[in-house]
Chain A
Amino acid sequence: MTDVRIVEETWDGASATLLRERMDAEIRPRYADLFAERSAPPVVVDPEDIVFTLVAYAAGDPAGTVSLKRTGGHSEIKRVFVDPAFRRIGLAARLLAAAEERARALGVRDLVLQTGSRQPEAQALYEREGWAPIPPFGPYAGDDEVSRCYAKPIVPLTLGVELAVRGDGAGLVADVVAQIAAWEAAGADFAVVPDRYLEAAGEVAVDAPTLATFAAAQTSRIALVPEIATTHTEPFHVAKVVQTLDFVSRGRAGWQVAVTRGAQEAALFGRKAPASDDALWAEAEEALEVAARLWDSWEDDAEIRDVETGRFIDRDRVHHIDFEGRFFSVKGPSIVPRSPQGQSPVVIRVSGDGPELAVAARRADVIRVAADRVPAARAALAEAGREAVVVVDVPASAGARDVLSQVAAVRIESGADGAVVVFAEAPSDAEGFASAFASTFASVFASAGAAASTSFRGRLGLDRPASRYARQESNV
């Protein structure tokens, strides 16, 4: 193995300049006809925009280089080159890894780059190294002929997947569990298990929390987020279901809160008539308040097992919640002790300008929106004085590579914190789909060391809160 050293130099340094000249000499002839036609000079780099330049020396000789450049709001990897004498020893990959590490240390979250249509070897390199193709960005926008652009998140973005859970019945459960396992292997943070009670003719599904818990007992890292509606259900039951999922999954439970519209759905329960969206979400918000209180109703140290006094719990640390609202009253406490996460993350999917946006801003830990609604979600959060993870729904209607590209670019394109890949139907090759993501995301997680946290809260960057009922430390 050749002795390789990678050092930071300046853009104008002798070695970097020499290597870029060699690069131009090698690459420019490939585009000579185009440049002649367009009679445009190549993009000139202002050294002021360069964040850093790395040079690799092999046995003392300048062998390769890479730079990071500020391009508008982007952090762009620029002028990646390895001298022909030092190729096929993995030097380009090492330079890219070094640049990623340096960029990460500087607080960069996403990298982009542009290469050319006539550099297939470069395209192959980037794809091998977990870069996802994106449409030409910034100064390259609109240049579909020559520019080939890529993006790579270098700190984890929040990656969820909404599973396809319906089928004709055969192998339904096993298929869903296999999808979840594949997405866990791909490094996804959470899997949403949707639920809507009624299916189209010929299709069947099962209860989401049951399926999510069944999968939880067979996985160890991915969070499970069943969709549970609040309209016709009992808040007390729902709260303990989520707590129990949190116990079974050892801290990987979430809850996607939904409302149930429609007369046909109302007739399933026969308890109340359909209501307006405003009323349904007002009720959902009450259910969320009840759940939050029930989840805190046992303090963490309520179970004392004090043999001396014969007391199993300290009953001063188990609390009635005494909720009285517009839609229901709940006395409490929960029958379930405080769960591993205390408060399991709440996910709300916001469509359009519905009343759920305000509820989500006040209550949700993860807000799901369409790509153009990220600013609206941020504005609603600002108004509510809260923070939440905002993720963009990416429909998995196209092939795996296309969806991967959209997800990899989601932070830089929409300003979201991540994405949820939404499968309306089970893909024919679910595991292939997930493994396409694995090359990008598993490597990001591994290099960022973020896979260490297995609780859903931890993955979202949330601390475990103390119970709201816990007595404050007194100063006595």
Chain B
Amino acid sequence: MTERRRIHLAAHFPGVNSTTIWTDPASGSQIDFSSFEHFGRTAERGLFDFVFLAEGLRVREHAGRIHDLDVVGRPDSLTVLAGLAAVTRHVGLVATLNTTFNEPFELARQLLSLDIVSGGRAGWNVVTSNDAFTGANFRRGGYLDSADRYRRASEFADVAAALWDRAGTGQDTTFRGDFFDVVARLDAPPSPQGRPVILQAGVSDEGRDFAARHADAIFSPFSQLQPAQEFFADIKGRLVSYGRSPDDLKILPGATFTLGDTPEEAEERFRYERREQVSGATALRTLEAVWGRELSDFDPDGPLPPLDLVVQGQQLAEGRARIHQDQRGIAEEWHARAAVDDLSIREVVMAKDPRPRFIGTPDQVAGYIDEFVQEGGSDGFILVPTITPTGLDEFTDKVIPLLQERGSYPTAFEGETLRSHLGVPPVESVRGELVAEQPARRL
């Protein structure tokens, strides 16, 4: 029998997103530290590689007003993780942080500091942004062309890596690129894990190249086996061209889960969750983002608005990760979906579950996850429960032991650092040279 591939799981804190159900009686605070403490301790009990925090640097808006139907309000990621470092011992701590609205010296120093206080458990999910909406909270405003997002991110990651590699040596890193012109050093102890772990989420060609060059793990959107296998093969192939081994980067799709004692119970629970996630108001708001106009006169339990009402190019939703490009195309698809089962507005939106989901008994869910990994779909998953902060408890108590029985999940933390949990060595430090040789170019 061949050795089973080890499953890596991470725990995404359910905060500001449309998956989180705040109407459930079990729903607790999305902001009190006790919620993070509970979630972090559960993740640690479940031997999750890391706790994952998303980020949004501007409160979301819809049609010029603050979006009020989902959970709103979150802490500063690095700061709350510094608190979490004090009340956990093993679990990794990963923050999503934007390269557009931060500076390399400052962010590299903050991440290294989290790495030091946590004993080598820090990770950074590198994201980019170019929207002027978010920029309105920052000195530069919306200043970056979409095409330059990854170029800036790549220079940013280069500078950060060079600073980390020389931390505590007193050596300066001089970088003169298109986006940064710095002479910097980190007078801090070196990282206990060589370098903080880098995650990345983009799937464009540029995003994939960025990941193959810089990342230790990818937060992937591919949760259907075949496209996931293709993505997996593509990324692992690119690694080789950067002189890295396929195991040096872990691919972790995001997913949620719905458990029940029987398959029927799980299905019933799923229907309940979708109803709670998609109130009538949420259904109309979701539709407005596609139609590009106010639709408050429509009945969420009635039929979809006609296609000729779509205002192509009108963005009502601001500050969301997903912005609809082809609004008309999506509207047509929704009409087609509604026609099949004679669905109302709310039912169509409920049917469009935006997040991949495992539904079933603990045994079934353990099976889905295990098979996906064994068949080369991914190295594991980043799981986001629907309830804050206790949504991970049942999974930890019921599914984790079954994964362990299958022999594909660890029974203890074997190392001390996030790198050791993930099994990813620090990317070879060749970039110190590259950095020093960058010619002086300014925009």
Q: Which residues of A contact B (CB under 8 A)?
A: 169, 172-173, 197-199, 201-207, 209-211, 213-218, 232-234, 236-237, 240-241, 243-245, 247-248, 250, 264, 267-271, 298, 303, 305, 307, 309-315, 318, 327-337
Contacts and interface: CB of A to CB of B under 8 A. Distances in A.
- Which of A218, A314, A332, A335 has the most chain B CB atoms inside 10 A of its CB? A335
B75 A173 contact: no
A231 B50 CA distance: 34
Contact of A245 (B68, B79, B170): B79
B72 A313 contact: yes
Given A213-B82, A244-B80, 13 more contacts: A172-B116, A197-B187, A198-B187, A209-B79, A214-B82, A236-B57, A240-B76, A303-B73, A310-B281, A313-B68, A318-B72, A328-B139, A331-B58
A196 to B, nearest CB: 9
Given A247-B80, A268-B183, A335-B59, A206 B87 contact: no
A16 B181 CA distance: 79
B32 interface: yes
Contacts of A209: 79, 82
Nearest to B75: A244
Contacts of B72: 303, 312-313, 318, 337
A211 B138 CA distance: 25
Given A207-B110, A331-B136, A248 B83 contact: yes
Contacts of B57: 236, 335
Given A198-B187, A207-B110, A311-B68, A247 B137 contact: no
Interface in B145-172: 168, 170
Nearest to B24: A307
B33 A211 contact: no
A268 B184 contact: yes
Interface residues on B, range: 35 or more
A25 B160 CA distance: 78
B310 interface: no
A307 B83 contact: no
Contact of B189 (A204, A217, A233, A267): A204
Contact of A218 (B73, B80, B86): B86
Interface of B: 22-23, 31-33, 56-59, 65-76, 78-80, 82-87, 101-103, 105-106, 109-110, 112-114, 116-117, 136-139, 141, 168, 170, 180-185, 187-189, 279-282
A209 B80 CA distance: 10
B68 A210 contact: no
A176 B103 CA distance: 27
Contact of B188 (A205, A234, A268, A303): A205
9 smallest CB-CB distances across A and B, nearest first, come from A217-B86, A310-B279, A248-B83, A207-B113, A331-B136, A244-B79, A199-B187, A270-B182, A210-B113
A234 B107 CA distance: 12
B137 A271 contact: no
Contacts of A233: 106
B106 A269 contact: yes
A209 B59 CA distance: 23
Contacts of A205: 187-188
A307 B185 CA distance: 51
28 contacts: A173-B116, A197-B187, A199-B187, A204-B168, A204-B187, A204-B188, A207-B109, A207-B188, A214-B117, A244-B80, A244-B83, A245-B79, A247-B80, A248-B82, A267-B182, A268-B183, A270-B182, A270-B183, A270-B184, A310-B23, A311-B281, A313-B66, A313-B73, A315-B68, A329-B141, A330-B136, A335-B57, A336-B73
A312 B113 contact: no
Contacts of B79: 209-210, 213, 240-241, 244-245, 248
